[in-house]
Structure 1
């Protein structure tokens, strides 16, 4: 985009195995089906362009768009997105 980032971008992920694979070159050899993506991510981690901090599944906001979640997790995510029920009594 034409500017150098001041700090690494966080790619928050709720899969500890995927985070371990991205950091550990020994495990990389066991993941042949993601060859190109693995090299891309590994390079960005080494250059400190991205970081892969772990985030608990219930705090992963994108989950409400990709899988079934319980009502509480769904409502919490809607609140974090700033979405409210316009039909709810005030």
Structure 2
């Protein structure tokens, strides 16, 4: 998530230098509920010791309203068909959303 925030900040700066006025928060979509909870939680837990710096970086950007972090259900996450084993329904729904059709289907 910290890498994603860095990329969003880079894009935001680039757009600003090109003359675009950004009025809305940039969205970092995440389908990991635990990661969302850790980023929004102000209490430090033992299980987050190894990500403390990244957590503070992300939380700072969320509090400054630079980014927002909406939750995305796993079945709506298009990248899952490339990284995880998904059921056939989710796979075909994702292909449809990506605009990928069956090249062997008769037209």
TM-score (norm 2): 0.74
Other structure's SS at 1:73 match: helix
1:52 matched to which residue of 2?
Answer: 69
Which of 87, 94, 106 pairs up with 1:70? 87
Q: Which has the higher helix share?
A: 2
Mapped partners of 1:2, 1:16: distance in 2: 30
Mapped partners of 2:71, 2:15: distance in 1: 29
Measured after TM superposition, the shift of residue 53 of structure 1 is 1.0
Measured after TM superposition, the shift of residue 62 of structure 1 is 1.1
1:35 matched to which residue of 2?
Answer: 52
Tell me which stretches of 4 or more aligned residues in structure 1 moved more than 6 Å. Answer: none
Measured after TM superposition, the shift of residue 6 of structure 1 is 1.5
Mapped partners of 1:43, 1:72: distance in 2: 38
Q: In 2 relative to 1, CA 46–81 (structure 1 residues): closer, same or farther, beyond 3 Å?
A: same
Structure 1 unaligned regions, length at least 5: none
2:104 matched to which residue of 1?
Answer: 87
